[in-house]
Each structure stands twice: as structure tokens, then as C-alpha cells.
């Protein structure tokens, strides 16, 4: 059954569909820390999108304050959508490299305004071609934004004028701007004349009074402009039916997202009693890192998938291999077309006792394996968990150092939002290993399922408080006695000494196959 997308999944989808680009080419990251959208070149495009924040019962977004009412939020999500479409269109058509040579001898503030002028003209055309209705709504938002900055008498005079050019320019300049815009379209359409755009650039550079004096809040901002901290009153606007539907969807998904997050964080706070974590967080995400990592590890993922499918926890089913084989075909096809869901694995669920997995990844500085390998390993384990359990509510994933990060709660789906969090894993800090294990066992204690596993990826060097080593040994013993199957995976010898089920390997390949063997033997022991 296909669940509704989460807020972030919905926005990713909208962005990548509009830009006709993939997460591998263009990165979209969300942030509550930035005020305005930004485009960075690292060297690929990385687009940062701000998120609404609550401030004294109102929302603050892109330098504007919106009342937390139907009207207020409508204006806010309208602005949010304008950003997403505007930035996606840049990702689709902007050619920033064309200006590199030209910009070298120019002043930064001016050349960015010139580049933005030209690229925005092209962006407007792109949106108008692919989503004329969106274009109209953005145009409507533009008038509201521009008028909200004009003195009252100008406002009255211009209130019914649709064309923003009239608000900006006098008659003579209006004609000139029109001419330049036509020139830009002509130049950019003929793909062969990339250098030609420079003639428009020069024209604008010389007539810089034509350049926009203010940057609209939903557009990308460059370094200094991002620091502006003026909070204006939010805009009111009348979206068309189609745009209103999008706005309502965002509003609804955001509400669900915020309350689900709050609920998840609350439920873990309950389990944190007596533990030493500094904080518990749900990390932001980086979908691009995840997608890249995944495509770099395709052979590994294929192998782990094949090996894992041999693992079964019902002994005497003569047709197991055959069923496994048939499903494998489906699985490979479905994975190749990226449309796979739980349905392929339904038959496996019948064979398998209900399982609950908690996966813990030690992201502390003590882990000897290079951190990018830990991240790749986490990806492999997450992909396997998702396939092997066949149900997204069967597994959860956390990373820990002196903080605990929830990468995937049992209740969350293994979709782009969770995947992005894996792509965003970072390491450092102390290793509160016993605390992480204890938390995992508390989470599982409340779980009604038959078979419970904790997978811990660590080097087994706890650090952070006095007697942590003793505490660690105690916790391991308690968990192993409780019937929860604890499987440890790491690169150091300590791992084999300290856990009953353990796997040690020196590289990713070895670790992955050891992980499978450990899982296989632990699951057959449990019969
Ligand atoms: Zn722009």
C-alpha cells in the first residue's frame, strides 16, 4: 500500500520533476538556519532551501512574518512554492559557467545582479513554458511583493496593473529592458552561441540602473544579501485553484511532519532516563550524497541482496530456493526501474517470524574505519534491512557519539527523507556505546514482536564517563540474557572479544559479508 509522501519527499519530488534533473546532478538541502535560498557551486549545483520557523506564535520565512492562520500560511506556502519552482528552473536551464571568464574583472555585487537578471529572464520563460499556471501565480506573488514595498500613493495607482515592468521602470527604460529581454531569449535559444550572451551582459553592466534594486525574497541570495535581517509583513495573495491545491498539500504535510517529529522526539526522551546523551536529534539530510553513494555501491548492494535472500528462518521448506529465486528476479527488475516497494517480499513475510531490528552505528571519533566507509556500510545495512524485513516498520536506525541521532524510527518509511539523513551522516565526539545499547534495548522492550535484533556497528571503544567500560560489559550481558540477539560488527579485535555474535573485517566488502554470516548464524541459532 502506497503511503502519502512526507513533506520532504513531496518537495524533493516537485523540485526534481520541475528541474528535470536528478539528485545526483543537483543537490537540494533544507535548512532552518538560513533565511533565504542560496545556490552554491561545489562544483555541482547545491541549492539550499530555508524552512519556516516559529517565532512568537507566528511563522518566519524568507524575511517575512506570517500569521499562523489559514491566510497567513497560504501566503507563506505560496512564497515557498515560488522558491521551489524558481530554484528548480535555475537547476534546469541556468548556465552559470558561461560568465566565469567575464566576471573575473568585475565587482561581485554588480556581476551577480547582471547574471541574476539574465538567468531570471530565462527561468521565467522556462516556467512559463512548462507550467504556465505556476508562472501566473508567481507573477501574482511578484506584484504583491513589489507593491508591499511602495509608498501608498504608488500602490493605489498600480494596484490593478499586472505588468511588473510598470512598477519598476520609466517609459524609456521599459523599452530598453524589453529589448534586452528579447535579446536574451534570442541568444539563449540558439544553443550554439553560448558566448553571445556576453553581449547582453555588457549591455546590462553598462546600464546598471536597469538592474533590479531589490532581490525578491523567494529568489536565491548571494553572500551578503543573506545576512539582511529585515522582517516584513507577509503577503496576502489569491492563488489559482491548482496553486491553492499545492499550498494546501504543503500545509497539511508540514503539519503532519512537525507533529510526527515532535512525537518521535518525545517518545525517545522517555527512553533516555539515566543515559548520558547530550541531545537527541533528527538530522537534516543530503539526498545527493545518498544517491551518489548508492550508485557507487551497486555491485556491493547486489551481492548483499543475493546473500541475504538465502537467509531464511524456517527450516524445512523445500521450495524456498525457488521462491527466493523468483522474487529475486522481480526484485532486480524492480530495483533497476527504481519502483520497488514492499510487495515483492510479501511471500517472504509469510515464512519469517515477525522481526524487529534496531541498528546502531557508532559515529564517534574512535571508530577506526574511515568514516566514509562507515557511511557506505550504513547504507548497505539500511538497504538490506529494508529488503530483508520487507516492512518499513520492522527496523529502526540510529547513529550515536555523545548525541543520539534518529536516522529512521520504526514508524518512518524508508523513503527519500530517511535516505537523505543517511547521506548526511557525520562523525566525531565520544562513544557512548553502553548508553546506545541500553536505549536500543529499552526501545525493543516495548516492542511486541517475536524476534528482536540489535546490530551494532562499532569498534568497541566506549568513552565519555567514568566506569563506562564496566557499564558496557554489564549492558552487553543483560541484553544477551534478555533474548534479544545482539550482533556486533567492526574492525577491531575488541569486537570479537566482547560480543557473542560478532563480525570483524578490515574493509567494507569483508564487513558486509561478515555481517551477513553473523546474521545468518544468529538467526538459525534462534530457531
Ligand atoms: Zn533567480
Residue 140 alpha carbon to ligand 1 centre in Å: 17
Protein residues placing their CB within 5 Å of the ion ligand 1: 120, 219
How many angstroms does the Cα of residue 284 sit away from the middle of ligand 1?
Answer: 24
- The neighbour count for residue 389, using CB atoms within 10 Å, is 22
User: How far away, in angstroms, is 255 Cα from ligand 1 center?
Assistant: 28
Q: Residue 119 C-alpha to ligand 1 middle, in angstroms?
A: 6
- What's the 250 CA to ligand 1 centre distance in angstroms? 22
Please tell me the distance between residue 396's alpha carbon and the centre of ligand 1 in angstroms.
39
Centre of ligand 1 to C-alpha 417, Å, is 26
Centre of ligand 1 to C-alpha 218, Å, is 9
- 302 SS3 class: helix
Interval between CA 121 and ligand 1 midpoint (Å): 9
Span from the CA of 17 to the centroid of ligand 1 (angstroms): 18
Please, what is the end-to-end C-alpha distance for the chain in angstroms? 31
C-alpha 94 to ligand 1 mean position (Å): 9
The tens-digit pLDDT sequence of the chain (527 residues) is: 456 899 999 999 999 999 999 999 999 999 988 899 999 987 789 999 999 999 999 999 999 999 999 999 999 999 999 999 999 999 999 888 888 888 888 888 788 888 898 899 999 999 999 999 999 999 999 988 887 765 554 444 444 444 555 556 677 777 888 888 888 888 777 665 555 777 788 888 888 787 877 788 999 998 766 666 667 888 888 899 999 999 999 999 999 999 999 999 999 988 999 999 999 999 989 999 999 999 998 888 887 777 776 664 433 343 333 333 334 444 444 444 444 333 444 444 434 568 899 999 998 877 766 777 888 888 988 888 887 777 888 899 999 999 999 999 999 999 999 999 999 998 888 999 999 999 999 999 988 888 899 999 888 889 999 999 999 999 999 998 998 999 888 877 777 778 888 877 777 777 777 777 777 777 766 55
Which of 495, 419, 425 lies closest to 455, judged by CA? 495
Three-state SS string over 345-414 comes to HHHHHHHCCCEEEEEEEECCCCCCCCHHHHHHHHHHHHHHHHHHHCCHHHEEEEEECCEEEEEECCCCCC
Write down the pTM of the prediction. Answer: 0.82
DSSP track, 167-215: HH--HHHHHHHHHHHHHHHHHHHSTT-GGGHHHHHHHHHHTGGGS-SS-
Q: How far is the CA of 225 from the centre of ligand 1 (A)?
A: 13
Output the CA 292–ligand 1 centroid distance in Å.
27
Structurally, what CATH architecture does the domain formed by 277-313+352-525 represent?
Answer: 3-Layer(aba) Sandwich (3.40)
For 463, which DSSP code?
Answer: -
Q: What angle do CA 313, 315, 320 make, to 5 degrees?
A: 85
Instruction: Look at residue 157 in the predicted model and tell me its pLDDT.
Output: 47
Domains in the chain: boundaries = 7-253, 277-313+352-525
Please state, as a whole number, how many other Cβ atoms lie within 10 Å of the Cβ of residue 211. 15
Distance of CA 219 from the midpoint of ligand 1 (Å): 5
The rounded Å distance from CA 223 to ligand 1 centre is 14
Distance from the alpha carbon of residue 117 to the mean position of ligand 1, in angstroms: 8
Q: Distance (Å, rounded) from C-alpha 285 to C-alpha 261?
A: 14
Q: Left if phi > 0, otherwise alpha if psi is -120 to 50, otherwise beta: which for 429?
A: left
Amino acid at each position: 500500500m502506497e503511503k502519502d509522501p512526507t513533506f520532504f519527499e513531496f518537495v524533493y519530488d516537485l523540485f526534481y520533476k520541475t528541474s528535470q534533473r536528478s539528485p545526483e546532478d543537483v543537490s537540494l538541502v533544507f535548512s532552518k538556519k538560513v533565511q533565504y535560498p542560496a545556490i552554491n557551486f561545489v562544483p555541482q549545483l547545491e541549492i539550499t532551501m530555508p524552512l519556516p520557523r516559529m517565532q512568537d506564535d507566528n511563522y518566519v520565512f524568507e524575511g517575512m512574518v506570517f500569521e499562523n492562520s489559514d491566510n497567513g500560511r497560504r501566503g507563506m506556502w505560496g512564497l515557498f512554492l515560488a522558491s521551489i519552482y524558481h530554484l528548480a528552473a535555475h537547476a534546469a536551464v541556468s548556465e552559470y559557467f558561461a560568465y566565469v571568464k567575464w566576471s573575473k574583472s568585475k565587482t561581485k555585487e554588480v556581476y551577480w545582479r547582471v547574471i541574476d537578471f539574465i538567468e531570471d529572464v530565462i527561468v521565467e520563460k522556462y516556467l512559463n513554458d512548462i507550467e504556465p499556471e505556476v508562472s501566473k501565480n508567481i507573477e501574482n506573488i511578484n506584484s504583491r511583493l513589489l507593491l508591499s514595498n511602495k509608498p501608498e500613493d504608488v500602490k493605489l495607482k498600480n494596484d490593478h496593473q499586472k505588468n511588473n515592468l510598470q512598477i519598476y521602470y520609466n517609459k524609456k527604460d521599459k523599452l530598453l529592458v524589453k529589448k534586452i529581454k528579447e535579446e536574451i531569449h534570442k541568444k539563449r535559444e540558439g544553443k550554439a552561441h553560448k558566448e553571445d550572451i556576453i553581449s547582453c551582459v555588457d549591455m546590462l553592466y553598462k546600464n546598471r540602473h536597469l538592474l533590479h534594486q531589490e532581490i525578491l525574497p523567494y529568489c536565491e541570495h548571494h553572500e551578503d544579501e543573506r545576512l539582511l535581517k529585515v522582517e516584513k509583513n507577509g503577503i496576502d495573495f489569491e492563488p489559482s485553484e491548482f496553486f491553492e491545491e499545492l499550498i494546501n498539500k504543503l500545509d497539511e504535510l508540514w503539519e503532519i511532519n512537525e507533529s510526527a517529529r515532535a512525537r518521535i522526539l518525545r517518545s525517545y526522551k522517555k527512553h533516555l532516563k539515566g543515559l548520558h546523551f547530550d541531545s537527541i536529534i533528527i538530522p537534516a539530510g543530503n539526498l545527493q550524497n545518498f544517491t551518489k553513494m548508492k550508485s557507487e555501491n551497486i555491485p556491493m548492494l547486489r551481492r548483499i541482496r543475493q546473500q541475504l535472500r538465502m537467509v531464511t528462518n524456517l527450516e524445512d521448506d523445500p521450495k524456498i530456493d525457488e521462491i527466493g529465486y523468483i522474487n529475486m528476479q522481480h526484485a532486480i527488475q524492480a530495483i533497476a526501474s527504481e519502483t520497488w516497494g514492499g510487495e515483492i517480499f510479501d511471500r517472504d513475510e509469510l515464512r519469517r517470524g515477525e522481526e524487529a531490528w534496531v541498528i546502531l552505528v557508532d559515529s564517534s571519533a574512535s571508530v577506526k574505519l574511515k568514516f566514509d566507509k562507515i557511511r557506505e556500510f550504513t547504507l548497505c545495512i539500511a538497504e538490506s534491512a529494508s529488503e530483508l524485513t520487507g516492512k518499513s516498520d520492522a527496523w529502526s536506525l540510529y547513529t550515536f557519539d555523545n548525541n543520539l541521532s534518529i536516522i529512521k524510527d520504526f514508524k518512518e518509511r524508508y523513503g527519500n527523507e530517511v535516505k537523505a539523513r543517511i547521506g548526511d551522516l557525520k562523525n566525531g565526539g565520544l562513544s557512548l556505546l553502553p548508553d546506545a545499547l541500553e536505549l536500543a534495548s529499552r526501545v525493543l522492550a516495548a516492542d511486541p514482536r517475536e524476534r528482536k535484533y540489535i546490530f551494532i556497528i562499532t569498534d568497541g571503544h566506549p568513552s565519555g564517563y567514568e566506569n563506562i567500560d564496566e557499564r558496557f560489559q554489564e549492558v552487553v550481558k543483560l541484553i544477551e540474557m534478555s533474548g534479544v540477539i545482539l550482533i556486533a560488527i567492526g574492525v577491531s579485535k575488541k569486537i570479537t572479544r566482547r560480543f557473542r555474535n560478532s563480525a570483524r573485517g578490515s574493509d567494507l566488502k569483508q564487513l558486509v559479508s561478515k555481517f551477513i554470516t553473523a546474521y545468518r548464524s544468529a538467526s538459525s541459532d534462534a530457531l
